[in-house]
Amino acid sequence: MPEKTAKVLQILRNIDAKSCCPEISAESLTADWKLLWTTEKETLFILQRAGVFGTTAGDVWQVINAKEQTLNNIIEFPPSGRFAVAASIQPATNGNYNTVNFKFESAELVTPKWAIPVPPFGQGWFQTVYIDNEIRIAKDSRKDWLIVERSTRCP
């Protein structure tokens, strides 16, 4: 598996090096984005250890509303649980959403029987290196990558 990850990372770095992503508008960034692949350590940790909570991990979402300046990261635990982190966002450059600053504001672990607020921590930025009507590729301030697809299914 590490070989495949290294290969994907090399491809992403090549895309980034050749990318001349046009200015990204609030409208094009705003979407329910379903995770396809990531190197983000906390997300991978939760996905790999969902069994501790008596479930398996479901879909992972990044829900962005640029006009409202919100970002929500959601990991589903079927049938009705989730881990959700809410953040405020703003473009690093006025009106251009290529690079977006974020600050986590709240987090919550929800199961069918209870909800536990979790202290949010962290802030940083992410930069979209590729976006079209279906796919977005981004890197962040911690050198993590994600590949997401535009969807309309997020709960």
Region 36-42: what's the mean pLDDT?
95
Query: Radius of gyration over alpha carbons of the chain, in Å?
Result: 16
Better pLDDT: 21 or 142? 142
> Which CATH number is 2-151's, of 2.40.128.280, 3.40.50.1820, 3.40.50.980, 3.90.950.10?
2.40.128.280
- Tell me, what's the pLDDT at 155? 60
Q: Please state whether 15 falls in left (phi above 0), alpha (psi between -120 and 50) or beta.
A: alpha
Q: What pLDDT was estimated at residue 51?
A: 81
Instruction: Report the pLDDT value the prediction gives residue 154, as an integer from 0 to 100.
Output: 63
Distance CA 5, CA 36 (A): 13
Is the CB of residue 60 less than 8 Å from the CB of residue 42?
no
Residue range 105-133: mean pLDDT, rounded:
91
pLDDT at residue 133, rounded to an integer: 93
* Mean pLDDT, rounded, for 49-71: 91
* Helix/strand/coil for 95: coil
Average pLDDT, the chain: 90
pLDDT at 103 over 60: yes
* Letter string b/e over residues 76-111, b meaning 16 or more CB atoms within 10 A of that residue's CB: bbeeebbbbbbbebebeeeeebbbbebebeebebee
Q: What is the pLDDT of residue 59?
A: 95
Give the residue among 131, 140, 150 at the shortest CA–CA distance from 15.
131
- Determine the pLDDT at residue 1: 55
Q: What is the pLDDT of residue 54?
A: 76
All structural domains of the chain with their residue ranges: 2-151
